[in-house]
Chains A and B, each alone.
Chain A
Amino acid sequence: MGYTPSAGNLSSSAISTKIVIAGGFGAGKTTFVRSISEIEPVTTEAIMTEASDGVDDLTATPEKVTTTVAMDFGRVSLDEDLALYLFGTPGQDRFWFLWDDLIRGALGAVVLADPRRLADCFPAIEYFENSPSAPFIVALNCFDGVLPYAIEDVRNALALGPEIPVLTCDARDTASAVYTLTELVRYAMSLTSHPALV
């Protein structure tokens, strides 16, 4: 493997949680995970069978009984008893059924968007709007550090409610990635303190 496992730091009573990093292809998901993970982001494979029926046209390729899909993830040991995992969503939209597996038990999700290709993150936003179990925020990954529009214009373009936090970030920068996760956690906390707003 391309990284040095350091899970030995976790105690035998350690527990874990996760945050999902979503967004369109090329939005910077893996870069984001890399900038904060203590392990080199690694890829695991899920093998799909019946779950992809109706998605893949199996009649055209009767030999094809499974679909392999790769997911990137990283890890941050927040203390010796708590590991935070970051999971990047698969780039292809047709693997929606896998998102349910990714989001189950997650603290929340960051939808990364490339301001030059905002439409690419529409499907991710739509998914989380219809999946109330996990709060999400939108982070505009500004590669040059400059957002060419006002945040509110982006909010309108994405048809986001006023309660959803929208911020800019630089996925390559650790401090920026940490800040983004911090904002997500603060937002999730605001929902738990004021359940009426959920």
Chain B
Amino acid sequence: MTSTLIRSARVRPYAMTGGRTSSRRPLLLETLVSVPGFDPTVYQALFAESRKIYALCREVRSIAEISADLRIPLGVVRVLVSDLADEGRIRIHPTASGAGVSDHILLERVLRGLHTIRR
């Protein structure tokens, strides 16, 4: 029966997303998301994984952190976050990086930030 269990575990992630494996929004691993105004009524109305994401993102979280914290595969997180954003329930923060070209001002800011690390 082990094989049945493994198989169901594999199928389940796609059941959460209605079979979809890609999101409409470009969500990078480091893209931050947050819930601007947590609404308990919205929370109650959401389904399991979306509900967990909605609750977790009361604090700013990245796509990768959501996946690791809630143990939901990355692809599923992307689809569900994209849906929550479409419904206006979650905010997707812009990422610092542009279209593959490093921005000098951003790099200077990163450099300043690295200088402050003293541990």
Q: Which residues of A does B touch, CB under 8 Å?
A: 1, 5, 7-8, 10-18, 36, 42-47, 49, 63, 65-66, 68, 71, 73, 75-76, 78-79, 82-85, 87, 101-102, 104-108, 133-135, 174, 178, 181-182, 185-186, 188-189, 191-193
Measured CA separation A17–B93 after assembly (Å): 11
Measured CA separation A56–B116 after assembly (Å): 45
Asked if B28 lies at the interface with its beta carbon under 8 angstroms from chain A, I say yes
Main secondary structure of the interface of A (DSSP, over half): mixed
Q: Is the CB of B32 within 8 A of A44?
A: no
Q: Is the CB of A36 within 8 A of B113?
A: no
20 more contacts with CB within 8 A, not counting A79-B116, A191-B102, are: A7-B61, A16-B30, A16-B31, A17-B110, A18-B97, A45-B73, A46-B75, A49-B21, A68-B73, A73-B64, A78-B112, A79-B109, A85-B29, A105-B30, A105-B100, A107-B107, A178-B114, A178-B117, A188-B102, A189-B108
Report, nearest first, the 10 A-B pairs whose CB atoms are least far apart. A78-B113, A133-B100, A17-B96, A44-B67, A105-B97, A42-B68, A10-B60, A85-B30, A44-B68, A18-B30
Q: Is the CB of B96 within 8 A of A189?
A: no
Other-chain residue from A7, A8, A105, A174 in contact with B117 (beta carbon distance below 8 A): A174
Q: Which residues of B does A touch, CB under 8 Å?
A: 3, 7, 10, 13, 21, 28-32, 34, 36, 59-62, 64-65, 67-69, 71, 73-76, 91, 93-97, 100-104, 106-117, 119
Find the A residue at minimum CB distance from B66.
A44
Measured CA separation A76–B106 after assembly (Å): 15
Q: Is the CB of A107 within 8 A of B119?
A: no
Measured CA separation A85–B117 after assembly (Å): 14
Query: Which residues of chain B have C-beta atoms less than 8 A from A182's C-beta?
Result: 111, 114-115
Query: Which residues of chain A have C-beta atoms less than 8 A from B62's C-beta?
Result: 16, 75, 83, 85
Measured CA separation A36–B112 after assembly (Å): 15
Query: Which residues of chain A have C-beta atoms less than 8 A from B7's C-beta?
Result: 63
Once A42-B68, A49-B21, A174-B119 are accepted as A-B contacts, the answer to whether A78 and B109 lie under 8 Å apart by CB is: yes
Q: Is the CB of A5 within 8 A of B114?
A: no
- State the Cβ distance, A100 to closest chain B Cβ, in Å: 11
Measured CA separation A174–B109 after assembly (Å): 20
